[in-house]
Structure 1
Amino acid sequence: MMLNYMSKPLVSVIIPCFNVGKTIQETLESVIKQTYPSFEVIVVIDGATDNTADIVKNIASQQSNIIVCEQENKGSSSARNTGFLQSSGEYIVFLDGDDLFAPTYLEACYSKFAENPEVGLVYTNTILFEAENGLLDIPDYSPNEILIDNSIPATALIRRDIFQAVGMCDTSLPYAEDWELWIRYTRYNENVVKIEEPLFYYRRRHSKDSKTDLNKINNISEQAQLYIYKKHYTLYQKEGLSVNELFKIRNEVFYLRKKVRKYETRYYGIWYRKLFYRLFKPNFYKSIFDR
């Protein structure tokens, strides 16, 4: 589909940042290089104690469409809400400060909204990189699947009005906050589109110090699951899912996905690693600091 670039709605890319000095430049470069012509970037420095703020401010000084906000450390949900309140886009997408977009990510996602005004959310397949390489096993969205486990990446293109209508991010959750958001969001609008082409790159860190890694170590994930179950108890009961049944099914799903991911990594990892280096390494990007 050919896009008419003369009248594209604004997309707000919201990036919460806590101590991502080693990766934030690469993340911002992947946004700056988008083929979609109408976007702004809201970077929220969430109490970072490393050089994240210096790097972001340096880049922002050269890019008129980057807005920098700072707050004391309150977590990614709060930072996402802060960024949203500072944004102006008709469409919103959240991107962590160590992940990457393929150059056509925004263009491809927006095209689905342009094709069908009833669409509420668009996401793409995902490629793992750094500590793990390969296609991430993401099932297609279904109303039942989203109650059992998150099937939508945190980085999905969504509508501003719906995000606001469902109450934004729940700041009580330190883990799985995107899963809980998508439960509310898709109950409001179930028109979800998945793009099979992998246009989002999710970093699995060698250092094992990401929020996901640390929360698993501290067993926060189980607390988050119980919180989500209690908050959406009526929905789970309607689907006949007791808390014991839910945990049993989730364990089975995780086991099956682990088996699938092992297969995909073995047979597809090399191909996706080559694609990643072709798209994102220095020969593809000319550093904005060299201008």
Structure 2
Amino acid sequence: MNPLISIIVPCYNQAVYLDECLESVLQQTYQNWECIIVNDGSPDNTEDFARKWVEKDTRFHYVDKENGGLSSARNAGIAVAKGEWILPLDSDDKISPAYLELAEKEFSNGYSVIYCEAEKFGTETGKWILPEYTPQALAVRNVIFCTAFFKRTDWEKAGGYDTSLIYGLEDWEFWISILKNGGKVYKIKEICFYYRIKENSMIKDMISDNGDMKKMVTHNIVYKKHIEFFTKELGSFEKLYDNNQHLKNILNSKRYVWANKIFNLFNR
């Protein structure tokens, strides 16, 4: 009863947002949680902010590590987590007070992933509209944001978040890893996650005009790693191409030929 939920908060150069993020954790109506703040070698005063919260409530814990990227930071936090269920939460985002309580009610129903409706805030506002989850929808694009619940045992089976995805899409690859062989997904029909939109972000960098090389390298890793999943759900590369405007933009880019040559040099 009342299983422990481990909330993993990686932080790199985002100390200015950390208080707001952790306050949303503290306000949870479900009380049996721990929150692991991972300082990923941040050059700002992340440690000062984090230690303040550790002193405030013993459910907060602090991990300090050398910079290794988002996947590495999440893995480091989960490695020391004690909870059966994991919830990643980026340090510039926040969750509603009821998120843990609503999710916990579904833990015994055989789900692999539990998430919710979401809303944007910051430089953009409004409900975050994503396609409903199906395996085929997941094969086309990521339809589940990072702040979703999953079992620690599934993280172990997947080998954790892929640390080679330094430019992004680590969430997409992770969901494919734990869902490609089956698994039920449940969506809470309430807005429980708030996603901060900033002027500069990893996602905006990926879709910028000068992001072709990063996009190509990142998508290549995911496609090659899960080629059987994409073939199963979409039938062929041609169908994947037809359904993915993002991929079309990459392959039609003038930079793609040169980027592909460079990528192949490093992946022979």
Q: Tell me the TM-score normalised to structure 1 length.
A: 0.79
Q: What one-letter code is carried by the residue in structure 2 that aligns with 1:161?
A: T
CA distance in 2 between partners of 1:216 and 1:64 (Å): 40
CA distance in 2 between partners of 1:50 and 1:86 (Å): 24
1:108 Cα offset (Å): 0.8
Tell me which of 192, 208, 211 is aligned to 2:202: 211
1:126 maps to 2:118: yes
Moved more, 243-252 or 123-132: 243-252
Q: What one-letter code is carried by the residue in structure 2 that aligns with 1:79?
A: A
Q: What are the ranges of 5 or more consecutive residues in structure 1 without an aligned counterpart?
A: 1-6, 255-291
Tell me which of 122, 142, 153 is aligned to 2:145: 153
1:35 maps to 2:26: no
Give CA-to-partner distance per residue, 1:180-225, whole Å, 9 cap, x none.
00001112442100112111000001xx222222343433233212
CA distance in 2 between partners of 1:188 and 1:237 (Å): 13
Three-state SS of the structure 1 residue aligned to 2:224 is: helix
Tell me which of 215, 218, 232 is aligned to 1:221: 215
Tell me which of 69, 79, 93 is aligned to 1:75: 69
Three-state SS of the structure 2 residue aligned to 1:144 is: helix
Partner of 1:52: 46
Partner of 1:4: none
Q: Structure 2 matches for 1:168-247, cutoff 5 A?
A: 168-174=160-166, 175-205=168-198, 208-217=199-208, 218-219=211-212, 220-247=214-241
Q: What one-letter code is carried by the residue in structure 2 that aligns with 1:214?
A: D
Three-state SS of the structure 1 residue aligned to 2:105 is: helix
Give CA-to-partner distance per residue, 1:233-291, whole Å, 9 cap, x none.
1222233444454243121899xxxxxxxxxxxxxxxxxxxxxxxxxxxxxxxxxxxxx
Tell me which of 120, 130, 133 is aligned to 1:138: 130
1:157 Cα offset (Å): 0.7
Three-state SS of the structure 2 residue aligned to 1:140 is: coil
Tell me which of 2, 18, 22 is aligned to 2:16: 22
Quick check: 2:15–2:45 contact (8 Å CA) kept in 1? yes
Structure 1 residues 51 and 250, CA gap change in structure 2 (3 angstroms)? same
- Matched-pair identity in %: 35
CA RMSD of aligned residues (A): 1.8
Give CA-to-partner distance per residue, 1:146-183, whole Å, 9 cap, x none.
11101111110111111111211111112100000000
Q: What one-letter code is carried by the residue in structure 2 that aligns with 1:203?
A: R
Structure 1 residues 195 and 24, CA gap change in structure 2 (3 angstroms)? same
Aligned pair count?
A: 244
Quick check: 1:229–1:243 contact (8 Å CA) kept in 2? no
Quick check: 1:176–1:221 contact (8 Å CA) kept in 2? no
Q: What are the ranges of 5 or more consecutive residues in structure 2 without an aligned counterpart?
A: 249-268
Q: What one-letter code is carried by the residue in structure 1 that aligns with 2:71?
A: S
CA distance in 2 between partners of 1:107 and 1:123 (Å): 12
Tell me which of 243, 246, 259 is aligned to 1:249: 243
CA distance in 2 between partners of 1:39 and 1:240 (Å): 39
Q: Tell me the TM-score normalised to structure 2 length.
A: 0.86
